[in-house]
Structure 1
Amino acid sequence: MAEHYSSFDRKGTRWLLQRLTAVFLIGVLAFHFMLLHFVNHAADVTFNGTTMRMQQLGYFLTMIAFLVTATFHGVNGVYNALINQGLEGTQRSVVKWALVAASVALVVQGVRVAFAMTNGGLF
């Protein structure tokens, strides 16, 4: 029988954060589907409606948390999958910092879009 190998140290912070972000994402995705697919049907979701939702502080903060959490969860998963495939040394360092840079760029752009979607009406 093959040995099980994982780059995640089950006592490590990244392992714990991967699990916690997964739980958070499941909850936020359930909220998203309920609100935007069952309460408001796809045809009823408009730019103006999105702007109105983003002007509500709770919704705005939830979407920012969703952005940051999903980015971390996805990038952390990709990074660990690459480590499991044998990435090491200089390549590992280059990939790690490239993923960090891409993550920061994604979060910064996402926050910019979120603020733009408030139409200046936040708070």
Structure 2
Amino acid sequence: MAEHYSSFEHKGWRWFVQRITAVFLVGVLAFHFITLHFVNHAAEISFAGTEARMGQIGYFSLMVTFLITGAFHGVNGVYNGLVNMGLKGTQKKIVAAILTIATLLLIAQGLRVAVAMSGMF
């Protein structure tokens, strides 16, 4: 049988957070699909409706948490995939820095849009 290899330190913090974020993302994605694809059909979604939803602090907080969690989960998965493929040394540090910067820029832009859509600030 082939030996199992993972760049995740089994039971380490990144391993644990990857699993917690996955569970959270599945739940929020289900909420998203039910709310925006079954309760309200795609043809009924409007800019004004989005502004109204984002104006509610609970919905706004959930979407911001969804953004941050999704960004972390995705980038952490990509990083660990690259490490599993043999990324080491200086290249590993450079890729980690680039992915960290890209994640922060993604989150900053997402927050900018969320705040603009909320009309709260």
TM class, shorter-length? over 0.9
Where has structure 1 moved over 3 Å in runs of 4 or more?
Answer: none
What is the match of residue 3 of structure 2? 3
CA shift at 1:9, angstroms?
Answer: 1.1
Correspondence for 1:114: 114
- Aligned equivalents of 1:44 and 1:10: distance in 2? 45
How many equivalent residue pairs? 121
SS at 1:11's partner residue?
coil
TM-score normalized with structure 2 length: 0.98
Percent identical:
63
Q: Please name the residue that 1:45 is paired with.
A: 45
Q: Please state whether the residue corresponding to 1:43 is helix, strand or coil.
A: helix
Q: 1:65, 1:42 → 2: CA distance?
A: 23
Q: Which runs of 5+ in 2 are unaligned?
A: none
Cα shift at 1:2:
1.5
1:1-123 matches, within 5 Å, as: 1-118=1-118, 120=119, 122=120
Give the TM-score normalised by structure 1. 0.96
